[in-house]
Structure 1
Amino acid sequence: MRTVLFASLRTYARRYAAAVVAVVAAVALIVVTNALTSATKAGLFAGIDAPLQNAVGAVDFPTEEVTAKYVEQGGWPVAASMQAVRSDEKMFGQEIMVGAVSTEKRWQWQDLEEGRFPARAGESVVDANAAKTNKVAVGDTLKVGSGTLAIETTVVGLVDAPSMWSSPIYVTWPEMQGWEEQHVQAVLTAGTGDKADGWLTTDEYLTELQTQLNQEVNIIAYMVLIFAFIALFVSVLVITNTFSILFAQRMRDFALLRAMGATKRQVLRSVRREALVLGLLASLLGLAVGALLGWGIVALVRQLAETAPLGAVSFEWPWLVGAFVLGVLTTLVASWLPTRRLMRLSPLAALRPQEGFDVRGAGMFRTGLGLSVVLAGVATIFVAVGWDDAQIGMLIVLFGCGVTFLGVMLLGPVLVPGLVRLAGSALATVVGSPAKLAAANAGRNPKRTAATAASLLVGVTLTTGVLTGMSTIRTATVEEMAEQHPIDLALQAESKPLEDSVLGDAKSVPGVADAVAVPGAMASVEADGKPVPLPVVAPPAGDVALKDLTVKPGTMVLSPFAASAFIEDSFEATGEKVTLVVGDRSATVTLDVREIDGAPQISAATLDELTDDPQTYAVWVRADAGADPEDMAGTLGALAPDAELINGKGQRAWVELQLDVFTWAVIGLLAISVLIALAGIANTLGLSVLERGREHALLRALGLTKRQLRRTLAAEAVLLSAVAALVGTALGVFFAWGGSEILVGDIMPDATFQLPVLQLVGVVVAAGLAGLISCVAPSKRATKVSPAEGLALD
């Protein structure tokens, strides 16, 4: 039987192509995940101990009291703060991470590349890469922070630091303490600390830190692995279908072996050895392809993003062994179902004509079971939508989606051929008889048709589900961001009015579509018996803002941060009344605390109560649609250096970018399973061409031209792909609705379900075109056989 095994592998090597592609893609995806994970870990861990080289121990995420305690004892805080950074000519960014640098040599852990370390307040160092990007040199003066809390600092050196601890700019700790918010990652101690403070030795802290980073990286790896398992599942469908067709075509060969004396177990063992060899070879190839892709992707990322925290790639044996074993097991599992038929094979089958295909569809039991499972899954999703607990509801939705999809798979032999016949009737009006023949061919073997469509169905369902879910999330997020950041850019005075020339200068900035002066006054609110200065503005009418910002008379809209200046619990201050005072005038207003940009907002009527001479306390800008918010921010910031620059357009653009990156990353991963499925369709058509050789020859002999035969095969591929895409789209949209009602509805109650119509149409069209492309090679093979040769085929 060993001779039979090798002969079969040589003879049918081309027919196993789709199965090999499927296994290689799934195994390679796991190996690539290992490469990216290991490179990320290596990059993050590189220099992780740099700040701790002269420390005895550390406290992770210390309180202000603990930080102050150990700093007084000679320790050092590893701290950062998000601040605006600008030079006289350029705005570097509204939210730049500013780190702390020590004036004491012991704690100067950064590598000095040029100049020196700060010796006093007012001096800073800049990361060498950031200096290169922003064209900063030693001796330049930078302004860090906003409004009255801004500091001017002189760059005295350029440094390099490990990616985990790196900041574009470092100022002294006393200067950082002057800002409202600082994030202290750890406080390093010069001596032994108190265990009650959470103090750890240097080695203990490094171990804890590496564990935290490992978990963060592994979460990302696990997410990617989910898509690898999806690819494996699609591979199972493709391999199962390939083996089913191939074994059906070889039944007479197997029966002949039985007639020559081979036992059932010998034939079965030979076939399963074929699957094992196929799995071994494909998995080994997948490891090689994955390793090359892993190295290549990491190298490409390093070239495109020099600051990306990627280290050296190291392949870990658990990943490689796991990927290899999964690839082999996937092949064996996928081939197990088709090989069961061999146990029922009789030697007399070698004397009977070749059947070629199994015309049996789904029986009454399977159809009834499928309908019951679908209804149960749909009911489960509707139950989950009304669940109070969002987390439990989401788990129930996922369970309902799985049950529903299982039901659709059971109904496949009834559902898919029926839809193919229906679509074929519609297509026949355009391309004529080839579409009718294609629909008839697809319906002759319902189980195979359903299995072929199932692999594509998985990928399309997931892809359309992600697209629809992200469309709903994007719409809700964009609307929420427009509520929080309705002004593209703004210059907000904090202590004194803006110059009259600022409005005209702002309108002349490239990218500015319109600008408006916002009247206001410097008011005060009493807190703890002392007046607290509070600039207020009255939003003018117009279309500069994205939303109507009209404020009701007697109301003041302000951010929690602004309210915290005079109210202890600012988040619960809505509804409270305060008195605004401007000179000898006052007005009592009701607070409306919400996330807004800029100074507190009052109505024009309230402003008239407070002053007869309002001044320009803000300039609001509406940008052109394609304008770069960072470039505009740099130019506008130079017009009023003492004013706070608000970049709402930049905030919205950043959030939208994150949504785009996430969406396309997921779609890119799902595309692998879609490509595997399309390879399966191409393989099925190729095997079908071999199986139906005599049939095609008879059609040719009866007058069907080569062009019409090609159209028939093309129509069959398009019908299969389009039906799978349409069913998958319907399932994906329904699943996304259930998930968004639970997840998005819990976070954003006002969100509405959004259908990305153009994207969904694009998925269906792309699937149809891909199916058309997949039929090119099989149709060429079919037309090369002459009618006489085809009729002579057995």
Structure 2
Amino acid sequence: MRTVLLASLRTHTRRYVAAVLAVAIAVAFVVVTDALASAARGGLTEEVGKPYEKGDLVVTGGAVDGWPSNEGVEAVVGLAADEGDSAAPLADAWLPVDRTDGTSIIDDAPVGTWPDDPALVWQDLVEGRGVAAPDEAVADASRARANDLGIGDEVVVGTGDAATTLTIVGLADGTTFTSSALWADFSVVASFDGWAAETVTYAVGPGRSVDDAAAGIAALGGTETEVGDLVTWSPAEVAADRLQKANQQVDVLSMVVLLFAAIAAVVSVMVIANTFSILFAQRQRDLALLRCVGATRRQVRRSVRLEALVVGLLSSATGLLVGAALGFGGVALLRATVDFPLGTPEPSPVWWGAAFVGGALTTVVAAWVPTRTATRVSPLAALRPEAAPSVRTAAGRVRIALGLLVLGAGAVGLAAAVSAADMVVMVAGGTLFFGGVVLLGPVLVPAVLRLVGLLVRRTGPTARIAGDNAVRNPRRTAATTASLLIGVTLTTAVLTGMASARTATDREMDEQYPVDVTVAAEDGPIGAELADRVTGLPGVEASLVVPGGEVAAAPVVDDTVAGVPADELFTDDALPVVSPGAATGGDLDEVVRGDRGIALPQDDEILVPSGITGAAGLTERLEVSTPRGSVTLRARYVDSAWGTAAIVAPDTLETLLGRDTTAYAAWLRADGDDLDDLLADLDATTAGTGASVTPLVEQRNWIDRQLDIVVIAVVGLLGIGVLIALIGIGNTLGLSVLERSRENALLRALGLTRRQLRRTLATEGVLLSVVATLIGTAVGVLFATIGVKVMVQPSIPDAAMVLPYGQLAVVVLVAALAGLVACVLPARRASRTAPAAGLTAD
């Protein structure tokens, strides 16, 4: 049997190409994931410990990841000064950074601390020198280049009386996880409200021990004091904690990617099983002859399973080599092009071993059932002419009954998931439902094929032959399309689900951020002149000049808020109010996104954004007054943001401020093409005027980018499984060409041209791809509907299903084109065979 095994491998090498490719791609996928993950871990190891590695101790607030109180940080810095030690707080404050002429550089930037002791400096100085005085700063090199800053330039950080002018004396690089726009002396950072420190790196001076320093620091703290707990750790302990947390993110991402590798493996199993089923069906006479000359059923079964094992081992080895080349090459390319810390990939024996063994086992498992089926046929039965395949057998009826049962169980699970909004139940129900669809494939797929075939039969005899060939063997057809069905179903579900989520999110964004950009002064109106300048800038699609002023707002004393003292109720002696209904210069519908009613309160209403009220208690009514008079208005507190002003009706504004209201603010809608340029122009235009720019559109754009990234990543990863499925379709067509060589030759002898034969096979490939895509699209849309109800509607109750018709049409078109490409080689091989040679083939 060893001779038979080797001869079979030599004879049928080309027929195993699809199986080898399917397994090799799945194995390579795992190896590439390991290479990227290990490189990311290596880069993280170098980065996370950098701020602590030069110290003897690291001070935290209690736990290793606890932040010390500001009083505790100042106490540690004071202790270091008294004892001759050095302390470097890893602190920052988020502050506006402007040029000395008032031009904004960064609206809200982290300003960190530069260590006083040069021995504790962890930043990489690129140019110039470090901070040596309170009026100096070092700028982040990349941000400095982006904002045209250099050594010697002066910047102003902070606002009001606390604003401080700093001279840039150096440029430096931080780490990926710890960086700031500027680094200044600790005394400067600590002078601003809102500063905080993650840790304090502590270096012990000459003549003192680390233990003495640790004891002194511990003595400063206490839960009963403002200082709070102060705990010291070694730099290695803190770095290990940070590394573990960073690696958890890498590991989670790796597991997510491996989920798609598992999907690719499942698709590979289907492709391999179908390949072996066809091969063993074609070799049934060979196996029968072996039985007739003395080989036992057990020997034949062992031989073909060893054949599958050899194919699996070769496939896994190929996958390891290809994956290593792609993984190491990809990391090298990323290190040269992407600003992210990547170390040298270190192959994981566990990952590589699991990938190799998994690939081999996948092949053997996939071949197990076809092997058993092929060897169960008696020698004499195998030597008889092959009967037409049919699902109307006892086994076929059992399969259909089981498919209906599993499909029903899946439907019940999906219904339960919707009722309970349970994602785990949804995944389980979806898996069962899809399993039922696959089991019913020999009935479902041919039925859809016949229906689609009716549409193309009228195009000519080649289409009729292709349609008949596609449904000749229902089980083979179902097995061929099942692999593509998985990829299309998941892709459709993701595209439809994300389109629905995006629409619901856009609606939420319209309510929360109805205006793209607002321009308003911190104290008073912006004035007509500035309003005309900002509304005329390039990049402004539509604009409104909104009238308004300041009023006093106080809670109505008759309204009570349970548990909230009267002095903690919302009140504002200088509340900005505007009235978009009385705006000039544009159409409200063109500026406000979503429902314009969100900016048009009733005459007795006042709309108060949540950003104004903060944590104050909210009453149902507010008494709003000016020197002209007062009115009591129903307060509607909303999540929408349009700057820092409340909104009233035009008549209410006239009652409070009269007819001669000035241009209080400008509302702008960006055209979306050059947002960065528009914001830069707005900053330059408003510099020195006291007006501030609020780019609400940035939050909307950030969310859109995240959704785009998710869609691209998921569809790209699912593409691996789709690629394997298309290899399977090409393989099935190729093996069918060999199986139908006499039939094709007879058609040629009866007058079918080479071109018509190629067209027949092309039509068959396209039919298989399109039918799998249509069924997958239907199931995917169903899954997306369930997903929206379970995952989106609990957060956004009015979220509705949205079908991305354009994207779904692209999926169908791509699948059809891919099916056409998959049949190129089989069609060429079939058309090159002369009719006489085909008729004499065995």
> Normalising by structure 1, what TM-score?
0.92
Q: Contact 1:35–1:314 (CA<8 Å) still a contact in 2? A: yes
Higher mean C-alpha deviation, range 185-194 or range 71-80: 185-194
Task: For 1:622, give the aligned amino acid.
Answer: R
Deviations 1:316-361 (A, max 9, x none): 22111111111111111111111102432434467544x3974445
Worse-superposed segment, 552-561 or 140-149: 140-149
Residue equivalent to 1:11: 11
Residue of structure 1 in register with 2:666 after alignment: 619
1:8 Cα deviation after fit = 1.6
1:424 counterpart = 2:453: yes
1:42 aligns with 2:42: yes
CA 1:518 to 1:211, structure 2 compared with 1: closer, same or farther past 3 Å? same
2:728 to 680, 687, 692: 680
- Amino acid of the structure 1 residue aligned with 2:9: L
CA distance in 2, matches of 1:101, 1:580: 48
In structure 2, relative to structure 1, the CA distance for the partners of 1:401 and 1:195 (3 Å cut) is: farther
The CA deviation string for residues 173-226 of structure 1, in whole angstroms up to 9 with x for no partner, is 555556665564445467434697373512332222121111111111111110
Spell out the pairing of 1:291-690 with structure 2 (5 A cutoff).
291-305=324-338, 307-348=339-380, 351-353=383-385, 355=386, 358-360=389-391, 363-387=396-420, 390=421, 393-429=422-458, 431-524=459-552, 533-540=574-581, 541=583, 542=588, 543-547=590-594, 548=596, 549-564=599-614, 569-570=615-616, 573-580=617-624, 582=626, 586-589=630-633, 590=635, 592-603=637-648, 604-612=650-658, 613-626=660-673, 628-641=674-687, 642-690=690-738
* Greater mean alpha carbon deviation, residues 708-717 or residues 458-467: 708-717
Cα distance in 2 between the residues matched to 1:724 and 1:684: 14
Q: State the 1:172 CA deviation.
A: 4.6
Residue 721 of structure 1 is matched in structure 2 by: 769
Give 1:164 deviation, angstroms: 1.7
Does structure 1 residue 68 correspond to structure 2 residue 113?
Answer: no
SS of 2:580's equivalent?
coil
CA change 1:65–1:260 in 2 (3 A) is: closer
State whether residues 537 and 599 of structure 1, in contact with CA within 8 Å, keep that contact through their aligned partners in structure 2.
Answer: no
Q: Which moved more, 1:141-150 or 1:738-747?
A: 141-150
CA RMSD, 1 decimal:
2.8
Distance in 2 of aligned mates of 1:732 and 1:562:
44
Distance 1:374 1:198 in 2: 60
What aligned pairs does 1:739-754 form with structure 2 within 5 A after superposition?
739-754=787-802
State the Cα distance separating 1:585 from its structure 2 match. 5.0
Q: Residue type of the partner of 1:132?
A: R
Identity %: 44
Structure 2 contact 610–639 (Cα < 8 Å) conserved: yes
Equivalent position of 2:262 in the other structure: 229
In 2, the alpha carbon distance for the partners of 1:121 and 1:522 equals 39
Name the counterpart of 1:169. 182
Change (3 A) 1:508 1:333: same
TM-score, with length taken from structure 2 = 0.87
Which amino acid is 1:563 matched to?
A: T
Specify the code of the residue in structure 2 equivalent to 1:539: P
1:244 to 266, 277, 287: 277
Please state how far the C-alpha of 1:54 moved relative to its aligned partner.
1.9
The amino acid across from 1:659 in the alignment is L
Structure 2 unaligned regions, length at least 5: 78-86, 204-212, 224-228, 555-566
Q: C-alpha displacement at 1:513, in angstroms?
A: 2.2
Structure-to-structure mapping, 1:24-173, within 5 angstroms: 24-52=24-52, 53-54=54-55, 56-59=57-60, 66-74=69-77, 76-80=88-92, 84-87=96-99, 94=107, 96-103=109-116, 105=118, 108-144=121-157, 152-173=165-186
1:421-459: CA deviation from partner (whole Å, max 9, x where unpaired): 111111112x22222222221222111110000000000
2: CA distance, partners of 1:77 / 1:742: 46
Code of the residue aligned with 2:171 in structure 1: it is: L
What is the rounded CA distance, in whole Å, between the counterparts of 1:394 and 1:125 in structure 2? 49
Question: For 1:127-171, what per-residue CA distance to the aligned partner results, in whole angstroms no more than 9, with x for missing partners?
Answer: 122223333201223355678886654322211222221233334
Contact 2:414 2:426 in 1 (8 A): yes
Counterpart Cα distance in 1 of 2:388 and 2:59: 71
Comparing 444-453 and 500-509, the one that deviates more: 500-509
Say whether residues 1:278 and 2:311 are aligned partners: yes
> Is residue 2:289 matched to residue 1:256?
yes
CA distance in 2, matches of 1:349, 1:206: 71
3-state DSSP of counterpart to 1:747: coil
SS at match of 2:715: helix
SS of 1:142 mapped into structure 2: strand
Mapped to 1, the partners of 2:378 and 2:608 lie a distance apart of 84
CA separation in 1, counterparts of 2:323 and 2:16?
A: 20
Letter in structure 1 aligned against 2:361: L
Q: Does the residue aligned with 1:444 lie in a helix, a strand or coil? A: coil
1-side partners of 2:538 and 2:186: how far apart? Answer: 38
User: 1:57: Cα distance to partner?
Assistant: 2.4
CA distance in 2, matches of 1:160, 1:538: 47
By how many angstroms is 1:289 displaced? 1.3
Whole-Å Cα distance in 1 between the matches of residues 159 and 807 of structure 2? 42
> Within 5 A, what are the aligned runs for 1:702-781?
702-781=750-829
Greater CA drift, 225-234 or 611-620: 611-620
In 2, Cα distance between equivalents of 1:472 and 1:422? 30
Partner Cα separation in structure 2 for residue 666 and residue 550 of structure 1: 41
Q: Shift in Å at residue 122 of structure 1?
A: 4.8
Partners of 2:499 and 2:804 within 8 A in 1: yes
Amino acid at match of 1:447: R
Unpaired segments of 5 or more residues in structure 1? none
In structure 2, the residue corresponding to 1:401 is in which secondary structure?
A: helix
Compared CA separation, residues 531 and 342, structure 1 to 2 (3 A):
closer
Residues 410, 431 of structure 2: 8 Å contact kept: yes
Q: Deviations over 1:668-726 (max 9, x none)?
A: 00011001000000000000000011111122222222222222211111111111000
Paired amino acid for 2:493: G
* Counterpart AA for 2:362: T
Residues 209, 629 of structure 1: alpha-carbon distance in 2 compared, 3 angstrom cutoff: same
Question: Judging changes above 3 Å, is the alpha-carbon distance between structure 1 residues 181 and 775 closer, same or farther for their aligned structure 2 residues?
Answer: farther
1:583 to partner: Cα distance? 5.4
Q: What is the distance in 1 between the residues matched to 2:748 and 2:694?
A: 73
- Greater mean deviation of Cα atoms: 156-165 or 413-422: 156-165
> Is the contact made by 1:557 and 1:594 (CA closer than 8 Å) also made in structure 2?
no
Residue pair 1:718, 1:769 contacting (<8 A) in 2 also: yes
SS in 2 for 1:746: coil
Q: Secondary structure at the match of 2:703?
A: helix
What is the identity, as a one-letter code, of the residue corresponding to 1:550?
L
Change (3 A) 1:340 1:659: same
What letter matches 1:46 in structure 2? Answer: E
Bigger CA drift: 407-416 or 552-561? 552-561
